[in-house]
A and B are shown apart, each in its own frame.
Chain A
Amino acid sequence: MQSIIEIKHLFYRYEKDTVLENINLSIPDGSFLAIVGPNGSGKSTLLKLILGLLKPQKGEIFLFGQEISKFKAWQQIGYVSQKANSFNTGFPATVFEVVASGLTKKLGMFKFFKKEHSRIVLDALDAVGMKNFHNRNIGELSGGQQQRVFIARALVSEPKLLILDEPTVGVDAENVNAFYQMLNDLNKNRGITLLLVTHDIGTISDKVTHVACLNKNMHFHGETSEFEQLKKEDMSKVYGHDVHLIAHNHDHGGVLK
């Protein structure tokens, strides 16, 4: 399988503090990877490096097989930031208008929105289960629904890789499973590779195919089934204190809490 992202011996430091140390990571095409780590573990720095907002000081990053400094096809990467949740909720825009704004760059300057673009927008809303809400004002929706809308906004440019920064922060506990089911559908039905970053191991579900644990170093990187067998001690290495891994009863005990 071809790797969508390949990171080799990556180092990064701000002033004195080393944030990332010898990171090696490979994200296969079609996988659903969750990177977990506590606050300040370098997750955001790693994302910024992958998105090209920071330059690697040592080591290499390859996107779609191409060295990052030569990579041009950024529209293949969709990004849903953590801040998407903290927008002005009183903003008078419909869900449709918000999702359509994801086409701004793709359409280019001085180009107008046409009928065929409406189809793309509605299709993206359908993919995140929000089609029926297209005519609602964005501020009327719950945090989880808004998060879905922002994912739809990223989908309209038809990315092959979707990067989500703490996507479940605004999602109610009871809706987290449905949210992961939606991500799973994107992953399986549309073949979009997913990279999800979170500080909360409780939110990793059995839908995730690969897990990577980050705290300056990469402590674990492999398939989810192996991660489930990780011992308590390994997790406390990452988190610096005891972590309780509680298996859910349903399925094969894939959800970690």
Chain B
Amino acid sequence: MIQGIFHYEFLQNAFLTGILIGILAPLLGVFIVVRRLSLIADALSHVTLAGIAASLLLERNVAALAGLNPLYLGMVFSVGGSLFIEKLRGVYKHYQELAIPIILSSGIGLGVIFISLANGFNTDLFSYLFGSVSAVSRTDLLVIFIISILVITVIILLYKELFLLSFDEEHAKASGIAAKSIHFIFIVMVALVIAASMRIVGILLVSSLMTLPVAASIRLAKGFKQTIFLSVLFGEISVLGGLFTAYYLDLAPGGTIVMLAVLILVIAIFYKKLIIKKHVLSEVESSER
């Protein structure tokens, strides 16, 4: 059954990329969710779309750029968008969430213009919107591998600081942590991971991989480290399970992965309710005795 995966290079690429994304997206997602910035991922993925569209446009019109991998320009746009969000959050101090719709709509607007200039939708663009297993190349895998090493190293090195910043930003600043620089590094990493994830789940679904596994994990975990561990575990189950299911049932992988993540979330919510009910019941019992 698994033979196919080892047989075809494109499937190997897709699965290896999937394993990496399954770690990265929920890992960063934990910090995003607890800081209540869940929508940032959405905003950045739409900016990435503008980058992809721009790249496809260039590819078509500039002969020298014919072989350009859209991933690169997607990343440039995503990182640029993250910097704008930071800037806007500073401008609207009391309405920080405003930065997100501003960047999100700018991203779509720009993306639509580029798409129309590039003569509308084609299969290439479609694969970026919804993810496409067959589109993952060796180069993509290599780029994502480098991003993975970078992101995991940074998270390990800055774990203490990121935790404190997420839990209590004011205290972090008061105790002299370089809050601005650390937040800057973090948001750039988010931008990179979003651009890297779109091959697998697609631009429209990237944010779900950063939030759904975390949402499930928060219901069950004790402590922050366990939250991270469970998020990554749920992310991996969704990605690998989704890819398998999609391959054998011939479904769209992005959608399958996300629906699997939703399923895990629903199970987590019901499981938690069951535990609470049991707990209450046993307490009532013991008090009746």
Contacts and interface: CB of A to CB of B under 8 A. Distances in A.
B252 interface: no
A135 B157 contact: no
Interface in B153-199: 157-158, 160-161, 163-164, 166-168, 170-172, 174-178
A71 interface: no
A104 B177 contact: yes
Interface in A135-152: 135, 137
Contact of B161 (A51, A79, A104, A137): A104
A113 B221 CA distance: 21
B36 interface: yes
Contacts of A92: 34, 217-218, 221-224, 226-227
B180 to A, nearest CB: 14
Given A83-B170, A87-B168, A104 B160 contact: yes
A105 B171 CA distance: 11
Interface extent on B, as a size class? Answer: 20 to 34
Contacts, number: 69
B224 A94 contact: yes
> Residue among A83, A96, A97, A101 with the most chain B CB within 10 A?
A101
Interface string A76-103: 0001010110011011111011100101
Contact of A94 (B161, B172, B218, B223): B223
Nearest to B34: A91
A101 B167 contact: yes
Contacts of A93: 163, 167, 223-224
Nearest to A135: B222
A97 B168 contact: no
Contacts of A1: none
Contacts of A101: 160, 163-164, 167-168
B34 A88 contact: yes
Contacts of B217: 92
Contacts of B164: 101, 104
A105 B157 contact: no
A143 B240 CA distance: 42
Contacts of B278: none
* B contact patch SS: helix
Given A88-B34, A88-B36, A92-B227, A104 B167 contact: no
A107 B221 CA distance: 27
A81 B170 contact: yes
A88 B167 CA distance: 8
Q: How large is the interface on A (under 10, 10 to 19, 20 to 34, 35 or more residues)?
A: 20 to 34
Counting chain A CB atoms within 10 Å of each CB, the highest count among B157, B164, B166, B170 belongs to B164
Contacts of B177: 104-105
B60 interface: no
Contacts of A105: 175-177
Nearest to A93: B224
A178 interface: no
Contacts of A83: 170
Interface in B206-222: 217-218, 221-222
A119 B254 CA distance: 46
B277 interface: no
Contacts of B166: 91
A109 interface: yes
A107 B223 contact: no
Contacts of B157: 109-110
A250 to B, nearest CB: 32
Contacts of B178: 109
Contacts of B227: 92
B225 interface: yes
B160 A107 contact: yes
Interface string A235-254: 00000000000000000000
Nearest to B221: A92
Contact of B223 (A53, A97, A110): A97
Nearest to A109: B161
Contacts of A96: 223
Contacts of A111: 160
Interface in B64-88: none
A94 B171 CA distance: 17
B156 to A, nearest CB: 9
Given A90-B218, A101-B163, A101-B167, 14 more contacts: A87-B167, A91-B166, A93-B167, A94-B223, A94-B224, A97-B223, A101-B160, A101-B164, A101-B168, A104-B172, A105-B177, A107-B160, A109-B178, A137-B223
16 contacts: A53-B174, A81-B171, A83-B170, A88-B167, A91-B166, A92-B224, A93-B224, A97-B223, A97-B224, A97-B225, A98-B167, A104-B161, A104-B172, A107-B160, A110-B157, A135-B223
- Top 6 A-B pairs ranked by shortest CB distance? A94-B223, A92-B227, A105-B175, A93-B224, A101-B164, A104-B160
